[in-house]
Structure 1
């Protein structure tokens, strides 16, 4: 894009407080293998652009499959006449920094990716005779985005995602169980070393073995201890969504108006961190061009902040926390989590477990859901 600034200036010919341009090109590979057959092998591309105007206090978004500069100028002229005086802007090109990747997934031959998928299936079957079905899904994505804003940012960002899902179905004496695991993140193909893949398969098979011989869980209330890797679902659903500004400040969250109040034990500190190397929720800039950061949400049990995009930050005179996320160029950005988790405490895990006489120790959670207004939530325990 030669002159994204010109498109933004055209957007601001009305009464807009703010405007931005989001241009996206996404290329992905999607491979699915089940029952010793490749059920799906896709290599596709999606591209398009979105123009946005913010006025007090509405967002106007228009999108198109085109990335042609002349067409976007025409669309910007149309958008500027929707309702909207004049706002001058200048542009500074921000640095494009990336997580280190040695082997870019989009440069790897398709047959090499299919070999990885087939190897995972065959390895799982060799490990456990009781496996009746194996499903492996491989997906890699490269997303190239250009973002131009009336605040003066001009950004080009390359984003890579690599993901493998493994589902095993096992049966013994009429008892059927499933075991699921996934690996991935902002990673290159070099991550998929054989020893790492072997560990991934072994972990999934080991869980299936445990489930096939597991006893039925007892009924009734129990004290619950969450393992370090099991708490993500709870934090994401029970707390995280309720701290997203579009819910928290619009009367759709039980955490509205509680900044500075105690909402958890003083042992609990929760952060949302986009800067963690190679994690799936990490990025250099959000989809509005705001640099990534670590945001403290709860500190020693005290609610400190919500998650903001630019729109809700402007509306409530706050600062964006870099959580403006788009599903694609077809959608407006909204405030959503990145990597949200509890920071380590000072207690030894064995000490925590031994302090409970009768309870449930959760190793892995499945899905969950929450009513953000009441705070009521429910989760599935896959392994405990």
Structure 2
């Protein structure tokens, strides 16, 4: 992508005013986005983005610059501009580069750039037709296909040299159901760190029909009651609540500045013994998986909470300085336009021993959240508010009528402590996560769990 001699010159220029560490991040990204609405192609966009990010440290100072000018003069100028914010007493030279060997954890069979658009559109149309034919109330179907190939090179003044190719593909299906003056929406969006083989091998009947089923089911849903209830949260994307309300609080971005309720609590019990919380970037071909992070560190499995005890944080290189702890391979960024910081990959609650049927049967009067929607969280406190996309009442150990307008209101760390049953059906759901270093692909996951009490906001009181 760039020659070693040029990169060495850039790193040297970045250290010219006394910095103690410099880094270069080179990115070449190809993207495709196709939207099919009502069986017609609405948009078909392809693009290429190339740029370079340069970072300099001096103690607990960090300066970041980026440029799309990859000439020698342009890169050296950007490095020197960044260096102007750093004032040190001595100037060091970069160490010789050592290229680290690692095998890809996520084999790719069909590079998206090599697949003609007509082949992609054929899959999209099949998904759209399947969804539309589910029920006569389905009035509109939107299918989006996204794929990308991101090639990166990361080198730093400590001698690190790492290159990686990341390929991701995702198909998102949205169904709209209408009955009289009622309109409801269902969504399913599977994705993978994989090539077009993932899209072509998807079980379209499953995903398209599920998006349609959600929309149709909600047409006949009753208003959700308000109050405090036991809440059963299903697997896969149900994990978003702990991703937002707990996962962000375990990132060094917040922990290093004591802006997290989990700061300085390693070794403390923060959850029941049945809860183990993991971030694992090594799961083969999962949406949030990586080979290396955006600082060149190998992906790894980080156990954050083990049998209820807080054991680790997610740490990037700069915050490792603040905390006096090693990086956990968690430095991620959206693109060269962002400096990396600590971020999640595939974060999930590990499976327990309870069967889903046992969890439901053990609940006398509660709420079953089959699919979670979006929400908001304050990472400093863990306070959250999440919508439930598809909810049901639970009466006498059985799932009852569908409910709409349900929201979960609470505090992440406190909710974590109230998990009293953990299922054995671990599943993952694909999503995008926004933070200081931009929007990145992540998986959220869990088996079915039960929380003994959460405040449920509904559309009427009981």
TM-score, length of structure 2 as denominator length: 0.79
CA-based RMSD: 1.7
Q: 1: CA distance between counterparts of 2:354 and 2:118?
A: 48
5 Å matches for 1:54-93?
54-84=57-87, 85-88=90-93, 89-93=95-99
Residue 248 of structure 1 aligns with which residue? 255
Paired residue total? 384
Q: Which residue matches 1:350?
A: 357
CA contact (8 A) 1:96 1:155 kept: no
- 2:13 is equivalent to residue 10 of structure 1: yes
Determine if contact 1:27/1:141 at 8 Å carries over to the other structure. Answer: yes
**How far, CA to CA, are the matches of 2:132 and 2:78 in structure 1?**
55
More displaced 10-residue stretch of structure 1: 247-256 or 75-84: 75-84
Task: State the distance in 2 between where 1:95 and 1:128 align.
Answer: 52
- CA distance in 1 between partners of 2:201 and 2:299 (Å): 32
User: Does the 8 Å CA contact 2:51/2:67 hold for their aligned counterparts?
Assistant: yes
Q: Separation in 1 of the partners of 2:218 and 2:83?
A: 59
Question: Is contact 1:230-1:363 (8 Å) kept?
Answer: no
CA distance in 2, matches of 1:87, 1:183: 47
Q: Select between 202-211 and 80-89 the one with higher mean Cα deviation.
A: 80-89
Query: Would the aligned equivalents of 2:232 and 2:369 in 1 still touch at CA under 8 Å?
Result: yes
What are the within-5 Å matches in structure 2 for residues 1-384 of structure 1?
Answer: 1-3=2-4, 4-84=7-87, 85-88=90-93, 89-95=95-101, 97-98=103-104, 99-193=106-200, 196-384=203-391
The 3-state SS of whatever aligns with 1:373 is coil
Look up the SS of the partner of 2:178 in the other structure: strand
Q: Distance in 1 between matches of 2:351 and 2:163?
A: 35
Q: Which moved more, 1:66-75 or 1:135-144?
A: 66-75
**Residue pair 1:96, 1:156 contacting (<8 A) in 2 also:** no
Give the C-alpha shift of residue 96 in structure 1. Answer: 5.2
Matches of 1:271 and 1:237, distance apart in 2 = 14
Most deviating of 237-246 and 349-358: 349-358
Question: Is the Cα contact below 8 Å between 1:147 and 1:155 reproduced in 2?
Answer: yes
Contact in 2 for aligned 1:96/1:157 (Cα 8 Å): no
Q: Which has the higher strand share?
A: 2
> How far apart are 1:260 and its partner, in Å?
1.4
Partner of 2:458: none
Structure 1 residue 186: Cα displacement: 0.4
Tell me the SS of whatever aligns to 1:231.
helix
Output the CA distance in 2 between the equivalents of 1:370 and 1:195.
33
